[in-house]
Structure 1
Amino acid sequence: MTDFAKAARDATQAMREVFPPTPLLRNAHLSDRYGAEVYLKREDLSPVRSYKLRGAFNAMRKRPDAGLFVCASAGNHAQGVAFMCRHFGVKGVIFMPVTTPQQKIQKTEIFGGDSVEIRLVGDYFDDTLAAAQGFCKEAGGHFLSPFDDEDVIEGQASVAVELIEQLGGAPDHLVIPVGGGGLSAGMLSYLGTDCQYTFVEPKGGACLHAALEAGRPVKLDHVNTFADGAAVGQIGQRTFARLKGVGLANTLTIPEDRLCTTMLEMLNVEGIVLEPAGALSVDALPDLGQAIAGRRVVCITSGGNFDFERLPEVKERAQKFLGLKKYFILRMPQRPGALKDFLGLLGPDDDIARFEYLKKSARNYGSVLIGIETREAGSFDKLFAKLDAGGFTYQDITDDDLLAQFVI
C-alpha cells in the first residue's frame, strides 16, 4: 500500500468518530435505462449534504495546535468547515460574498454555531478570497483551501476508501464531477488504474478540460455559476498535478440547461434532491452509452444543497433544453381580430405562459413578448410554419442569452 493510500484509510477511520459512511446504493431506474449496474455514492446524504466536510476534517485533525481556521466560500466548503470547527472546538472565520443567498449563510451559521464567524465581503468571489487570505495572514490563522491542499485531497479520497469497502472492490467505471479537482484527484490517487474514469464538468466551468488542453492550469475567461458547486475558474496546481495524465478523451462537459433535466428526473422519479453539481455524474450517463453497458458503474452524487426557490428556474431551463418552451417576439398588426387570428394558430398542446403586449397608437404594429410551453418539441415547427404562412413576423429569442436575460 502506498503512503497516500494508507493516509487516506487512516483519515477514513478517523472520520468514523464524526459521521458514518455515506450510502452506496444501486439505482434500479438508471440500471434498467442504461443496461448496466449503476450505483450512486450518495455524498448528498452526508451531515452537510456534500463531501466537503471530509477534506475539512482531515486538514483540521492534522493541525491540532491551530487556533484559527479561515476559508472563503459561498457554499459547500463553508458548511463543511463550519461543521468541523464546531466538532473540533476551534475558531473559524468564513468569508462569503455579499451576494451569497441568505439560505446558505443561515446553514453555515447553524453548522458552526458559536465556533464560526461569518464575514460578508465583496460582490465577486475573487474579492472575497483576497479578503480572506489577507485577514488570515494578519491574524496568523490557517487558510483552508476548498481543494488545492494535500490534506484536503487526502480527506476527499475517503470517498474511494468507503466505495471499495461497500462494493467489495473497484467498479468497472467511475464517474466523478470536477470543480477544483480535490475529489477527483483524491479518488484517482487512491484507486489508480483499477477502474475506468469519466471526469465531468459543467460547460461554463470546464477548468480541467482547459488545463489539459494547455498542459497547465489556466484561468477561464468567464465562469457560469449556475452549477456553483463545480463552477471553478481555474483548477488547482496540486490537483492538476494528480490529474494531468487523465486525457481529454476521459472528460465530459455538460450544458447547464441539460443538468436541469437530470435534476428534475431524479427528484420526480427517485425522490433524490441534487444540486446542479451533484447531478453532473448522473447526467453524463447518456453520453457514455454502450461504453457502460453490462458494466458496474458508480456515479458520485457530490451534493444536495439545493434551494427550492430555484426550482422554477430549473424547470424553465429544462424545458428550454428539451425544446418544450420557447420565447419569441411577435409583430402583431394593430387591427381588430389580429390576436384572435394568432390564437387560432396554436395547437391543442400549446400553452401561453407569458404574454406582454405594448400597443403604440402611432404605429400599425405592436410588439408582443410571448412564451409558449408545449408537450412535444415538434409542435413549434408546426406553429412557426403556420406563422410564416399567415404572414406574421417573429423572432425566436430563446437561445439569445443577452436578450432573454433582459426581457424574460
Structure 2
Amino acid sequence: MSDFSEKARRAEMAMRGLFPPTPLQRNDHLSARFGAEIWLKREDLSPVRSYKIRGAFNAMRKVLAERPDQKVFVCASAGNHAQGVAFVCRHFGVRGVIFMPVTTPQQKIDKTRTFGGENVEIRLTGDYFDDTLASAQAYCAEVGAHFLAPFDDPDVIEGQASVAVEMLEELGHAPDLVIVPVGGGGLSAGMRGYLAEAAPQTALKFVEPAGGASLTAAVAVGEPVTLKKVDTFVDGAAVARIGARTFAALKGIAPEDVLLAPEDRICVTILEMLNVEGIVLEPAGALAVDVLPVLADEIRGKTVVCVTSGGNFDFERLPEVKERALRYRGVKKYFILRLPQRPGALRDFLEMLGPEDDIARFEYLKKSARNFGSVLIGIETRQAANFETLLAKLDAAGFVYKDITEDELLAQFVI
C-alpha cells in the first residue's frame, strides 16, 4: 500500500472518534430510472452536512500531533469549510478565528457559530472573498496562527480521501464508476489518489458547474488557470482557480472524463431529489446526480456511486431554484409584448392562451405610448411544446414580441 493510501486509511480510522461513517445508500428511484445500481455516498449527512469536516479534521489533527502548543487556527470561508473548521475546533478544544465576507447570509454565520460554540470567533470582513482571504492570512502572520486551507493542502486532500476508504468498505467491492463533484479539487484529488491503488478498475467522472469550470480550463492547458468570470450559484464548487496541489494529483485525466453541469439543470435535479426522494442537496451536492442522464447509455447495468457532497441548502433560495428549473425545462418563458392601445387588445391576447397556459407575471413597462404599450409577461405551462402553439397564434395575429427568457442582461433588470 502506498504512503498516500496508508495515510488516508489512518485519517479515516481517526475520524471514528468524531463521527460515524456517512451512509452509502442504494437509491431505488435512480437505479430504476437508469437501469443501473446507483448508490449515493451521503456526505450531506455528516455532522456539518458536507465532507469538508474530513479535511479540516485531518489537517488539524496532524498539526496538533507535531505542535501540541498550537492553539489558534484560522480559515477564510463563507460556507462548508467554515462549518467544518468550527466543529473540529470545538472537538480539539482549540481557538478558531473564521473570516467571512460581510455579505455572508446570517444563516451560515449562525450555523458556524453553533458548531464552534465558545471556541470560535467569527470576523466579517471584505465584500469579496479575495479581501476576506487576505485579511485571514494577514492575521495568521500577525499572531502566529495556523491557516487551514479549504482544499490545496496535502493533509486536507488525505482527509477527503477518507470518503473513498469508507465507500469501498461499505460497498464491499469496487464499483464500476464513481462520480465526484469538483470545486477546488480536494475531494476529487483525494478520491482519485486512493482509488488508483485500492480499486484501479474503477472509472472516475468529475463534475463541475458550467459557470465555474476551473478543472476543464486546467486540463485544456495542462496547468491551473484563473477564470475571468465565475457564476457563484453553485457556491460550494464555484472556484475561479483549481488548486496547484490538487491539480497535480488530477493531472492526466482525460478531458472527456470532466463533465459540466449547467446551473439551471442543477436546479431541476435539486427539486427532483427533494420532491421524489426527500433528500435535501445544495447545488454543489447535486452535481454528481445531475450528470446521470448524460451518462445514461454508459452506466446501464453497472454499479455507480455518486458522491452527494453537501446538503447545506438555504430554503430562502427555493423560489429561485424553482424558477430556474422551470426555465430550463422550457415550461416558463418571459416576453416583452407590444400590445396595441385599443379596447379589446388584451382580451385578444388572452384568448390565444391554451388550457395549460398560465400567466405568472404581467406588468406594463411603458404606459405613455399613444398607439402601443410594452408589457412584461411571464407564462408558465405544463409542457414546452405548448409555446410553439402559442407563438404561432401570436405570429398569425401580427403581435410583436421578444422572448427574453435567455437574455441575461434584460433578465437581470426586469425578471
TM-score band, normalised by the shorter chain? Answer: over 0.9
Counterpart pick for 2:252 among 245, 248, 252: 245
Q: Could you say what secondary structure the match of 2:295 adopts? A: helix
Q: Report the counterpart of residue 180 of structure 1 in structure 2.
A: 184
For residues 191 and 358 of structure 1, do their structure 2 counterparts lie closer, same or farther at Cα, with a shift above 3 Å needed? closer
Q: Distance in 2 between matches of 1:402 and 1:67?
A: 49
| 1:171 counterpart = 2:178 | no
Q: Report the counterpart of residue 273 of structure 2 in structure 1.
A: 266
| 1:293 counterpart = 2:300 | yes
Q: Which amino acid aligns with 1:63?
A: V
Q: Report the counterpart of residue 126 of structure 1 in structure 2.
A: 130
Counterpart pick for 2:147 among 143, 151, 156: 143
Q: Deviations over 1:115-161 (max 9, x none)?
A: 11111111111111111111111111111110000000000000000
Q: Which amino acid aligns with 1:159?
A: V
1:324 Cα deviation (Å)? 0.5
Q: Report the counterpart of residue 407 of structure 1 in structure 2.
A: 414
Q: Report the counterpart of residue 392 of structure 1 in structure 2.
A: 399
Q: Distance in 2 between matches of 1:49 and 1:301?
A: 10
Q: Distance in 1 between matches of 2:230 and 2:84?
A: 23
| 1:206 counterpart = 2:213 | yes
Q: Deviations over 1:154-178 (max 9, x none)?
A: 0000000000100112211000000
Matches within 5 A, 1:8-407: 8-64=8-64, 65=68, 66-192=70-196, 193-358=200-365, 360-407=367-414
Q: Which amino acid aligns with 1:146?
A: P
1:29 Cα deviation (Å)? 0.6
For residues 305 and 201 of structure 1, do their structure 2 counterparts lie closer, same or farther at Cα, with a shift above 3 Å needed? same
The alignment covers a number of residue pairs equal to 408
Q: Could you say what secondary structure the match of 1:63 adopts? A: helix
1:360 Cα deviation (Å)? 3.0
1:253 Cα deviation (Å)? 0.4
1:362 Cα deviation (Å)? 4.5
Q: Distance in 2 between matches of 1:327 and 1:100?
A: 31
Q: Could you say what secondary structure the match of 2:337 adopts? A: strand
Q: Distance in 1 between matches of 2:336 and 2:393?
A: 16
Q: Distance in 2 between matches of 1:402 and 1:69?
A: 42
Q: Distance in 1 between matches of 2:120 and 2:254?
A: 40
- Decide which moves more: 41-50 or 129-138: 129-138
1:246 Cα deviation (Å)? 1.1
For residues 361 and 177 of structure 1, do their structure 2 counterparts lie closer, same or farther at Cα, with a shift above 3 Å needed? closer
1:245 Cα deviation (Å)? 1.0
Show structure 1 runs of 4+ deviating over 4 A.
none
For residues 154 and 362 of structure 1, do their structure 2 counterparts lie closer, same or farther at Cα, with a shift above 3 Å needed? closer
Q: Distance in 1 between matches of 2:357 and 2:78?
A: 40
Q: Distance in 1 between matches of 2:325 and 2:373?
A: 30
1:323 Cα deviation (Å)? 0.1
Q: Which amino acid aligns with 2:317?
A: R
For residues 142 and 386 of structure 1, do their structure 2 counterparts lie closer, same or farther at Cα, with a shift above 3 Å needed? same
Q: Which amino acid aligns with 1:200?
A: V
Instruction: Give me the identity figure in percent.
Output: 72
Q: Report the counterpart of residue 2 of structure 2 in structure 1.
A: 2
Structure 1 residue ranges without an equivalent (≥5) = none
Q: Distance in 2 between matches of 1:174 and 1:146?
A: 22
1:290 Cα deviation (Å)? 1.5
- Decide which moves more: 350-359 or 48-57: 350-359
Q: Deviations over 1:238-285 (max 9, x none)?
A: 000000111101110010000000000000000000000000000111
Q: Distance in 1 between matches of 2:355 and 2:369?
A: 35
RMSD, matched Cα: 0.8
Q: Which amino acid aligns with 2:206?
A: F
Q: Deviations over 1:268-307 (max 9, x none)?
A: 0000000000000001111112111111100000000001
Q: Distance in 1 between matches of 2:61 and 2:351?
A: 69
1:358 Cα deviation (Å)? 4.1
Q: Deviations over 1:178-232 (max 9, x none)?
A: 0000000000000102300100000001111100001100000101000000000
1:363 Cα deviation (Å)? 2.1
Q: Could you say what secondary structure the match of 1:394 adopts? A: strand
1:359 Cα deviation (Å)? 5.3
1:21 Cα deviation (Å)? 0.2
1:234 Cα deviation (Å)? 0.3
Q: Could you say what secondary structure the match of 1:371 adopts? A: strand
* TM value normalised by structure 1: 0.99
Q: Deviations over 1:365-402 (max 9, x none)?
A: 11100101000101111111111111111000000111
Q: Distance in 2 between matches of 1:403 and 1:119?
A: 36
